[in-house]
Amino acid sequence: MSTRSITTAKSIIYSSHGVPQDVIRVHTFTIPDAEGDSVVLKSLGFPINPSDINQLEGVYPSKPEKTTKYGTEEPAAIAGNEGLFEIVQVGPNVKELSVGDHVIPLFSNFGTWTSHNVAQEKDLVKLPKSLSVVAGATISVNPATAYQLVSNYGLEKGDWLIQNAGTSGVSQMVAQIAKSKGINVLSVIRDRSDFDQVKAKLEAQGATKVISETENGDRAVGAEIKKLTGGKIKIALNSVGGVSSSNIARKLAPNATMFTYGGMSKKPVSIPTSLFIFKNLTCKGYWVTENTKKDPQSKIETTEELVKLYQSGQLKELDVNEHTWKLDEFSDDQILELLKGVVENAYNGKQFIRIV
């Protein structure tokens, strides 16, 4: 007779949408033994991303299906899209994964704000255990977005790109990845009292030049940028919108492309008509979630390349505000208090939960 083990999961779930702190709750359920090609997972850590917050608010286009499979009275979903897991049990038909391996979900809407979960082997991507918990748990969104934007649209060594929101997670990754490929980056950041210090940090990471939003709108600075780049900036990466988007678009070369992957200002992308007519500007959207749905292999290949960059030291994990979830000590009330506090501060730097 085979011996059955019991895995008890503590998960942050929600059944409705609204203010995130009001809709999340802690739910305990039992995960059955791994069967077939499934594996049982223990979480090592997860970040809190803007998309996670937007899902809880009900305003994000991609949402997990709510279900009663977790033993809830009403359909619910586990929050979170990104995280790192350790395999603690494998089913008899699992071929490539083993107990102790570190893995990440292949697709979004996995439900990562949890102590444990279960998945099929085909829906996981293996990572080397030498990769840090923070790097592994945050590899799927910001670094993957940055890598694909830098690598997939024709940029070559010596080329230029411009990006706004230069201090964001994606932008900092863009600068590092571009530097590894010999691509020049012009980063635009908000005006701030510590501009010189932030500029120095970003340039040390890989940005070729850093300017403020005020400078971004200054014609004289624009002329200097044209001289510096030879007027050959091929790609703009926009995650702000509004006036910022029009100002980076003005610096693009003829036949260039602007990719919009975010809208931090919550204002429409504003592009002068003349850029379309006289520069043949192309504007496109970019969403790593949709890219992965259409081409899962692209996520696997992107992850492999990012791991190489981390291992070579050409890519550094981003700074996070780390919090600890003590699995064997915290009561449900303590877990909920921790998550509510982290969610409340989700836009004050990258928040990260390490489970120990």
- In terms of Cβ atoms closer than 10 Å to its own Cβ (0-12, 13-18, 19+), residue 129 is exposed
Give me the CATH number covering residue 259: 3.40.50.720
Q: Which of 254, 272, 290 is the last residue of a domain?
A: 290
Tell me, yes or no, whether 252 lies in a domain: yes
> Which residue numbers in the chain have pLDDT < 50?
1-3
Regarding whether 254 and 155 lie in a shared domain, the answer is yes
Looking at the structure, do residues 155 and 275 belong to the same domain, yes or no? Answer: yes
The whole model's pTM is what? Answer: 0.96
Residues 265, 341, 80, 188, CA torsion sign: positive
pLDDT for res 77: 98
Reported as a single tens digit per residue, the pLDDT across 46-94 is 999 999 999 999 999 999 999 999 999 999 999 999 999 999 999 999 9
pLDDT at 318: 87
Per-residue confidence (pLDDT) for residue 1, from 0 to 100: 35
- Based on the domain organization, do 200 and 114 belong to the same domain? no
- Is residue 60 among the annotated active site residues? yes
pLDDT for the residue numbered 6: 74
Catalytic residue, chosen from 14, 60, 147, 286, is 60
Give me the pLDDT at residue 21, please: 97
* Residue 341 CA: distances (Å) to CA of 30, 156, 271, 348: 26, 43, 39, 12
Specify whether 11 is located in the same domain as 129: yes
Indicate if 153 and 266 belong to the same structural domain.
Answer: yes
In a domain, 264, yes or no: yes
The domain tally of the chain equals 2
pLDDT digits (tens, 9 = 90+) for 334-343: 999 999 999 9
Q: Is residue 327 domain-shared with residue 275, that is, in the same domain?
A: no
Range of the domain at 235: 142-290
